[in-house]
Amino acid sequence: MVQIFSTFEHSTNLELAITVLEKNGIQKGNIFAVPLTNRKTERRLFDSIHNADGISLISTGAALGTAFAVIGASVGFKLAWGPIYWGLIGAAGGFALGVCIDVFYYKVIKKQQRLLRGKNSEVILVIECEESQADIVEDVLWHHFAIGTARVV
């Protein structure tokens, strides 16, 4: 018997991989999954699909952008460029100001050490199988976007 170790992100692909393995005759008891608690990532402007800690920097930006758009559109009726341009300038300016405030707050005042970007291994998956099946198992794992695999004999 060999064991194939692999790491994954949480996704539907992971469950698909497990289903395909079971179809190929791997017993449920021979599949061992270890979901990890991940290190928090550095705050960024937008959360990606892979990593969403919900503490990105757009909350204050969205709030100030809306407020400044209202003021810009209002005052714009008196200014040369008119309400639409000034509304847009207000929205963009307010958003930028909000992001700057958050960046300053979280990176200068609070200074958190959070350093993990890009894809994270969120689940360790260990498959026990016959040596003859090992190639197929690895193939299935790679096809379903495993981040890395290793074979232990």
Partner 1 sequence: MDNYRNVENKFRRYKAHVSIAGTTQFHIRNPYAIAWWSAAFPGFGHLLLSKYYRGLSLFIWEVIVNYNAKINLAMVHSFCGNIEAAKEVLDPRWMLMYIPVYLFGIWDSYRTSVDMNKVYLLAEKEDAPFNSFSIGAMEINYLDKRKPIMSVIWSLFMPGLGQLHIHRVVTAFFALIWTIVFLYFSKLLLSVHYLFLGQLTESTAVLDKQWLLFMPSMWGFAAYDSYVNTVENNKLFNNEQKDFLIKHYQDPTFRVKKGKVVK
Closer residue to partner 1, CB minimum distance, 67 or 100: 67
**Smallest separation (angstroms) from partner 1 to the CB of 115:** 20
Q: Which residues bind partner 1 (CB under 8 A)?
A: 1-3, 10-12, 14-15, 18, 28-35, 46-49, 52-54, 56, 58-59, 62-63, 65-67, 69-71, 73-78, 80-85, 87, 90-91, 122-123, 126, 128, 150-153
Closer to partner 1 at the Cβ: 13 or 100? 13
Query: What one-letter code names the amino acid at 110?
Result: K
Choice between 59 and 112, CB closer to partner 1: 59
DSSP string, 24-38: TT--GGGEEEEEPPP
The residue to which tokens 């993990």 are assigned: 116
DSSP-assigned beta bridge partners for residue 5: 126, 150
Question: 């689940």: which residue's tokens?
Answer: 123
- Please report how close the Cβ of residue 98 comes to partner 1 at its closest, in angstroms: 11
CB-based contacts of 25: which residues, under 8 Å, 6+ apart?
133
Q: Alpha carbon of 106 to those of 23, 57, 62, 63: distances in Å?
A: 48, 9, 17, 17
- Distance of closest approach, residue 71 Cβ to partner 1, in angstroms: 6
Residue closer to partner 1 (CB basis): 14 or 99: 14
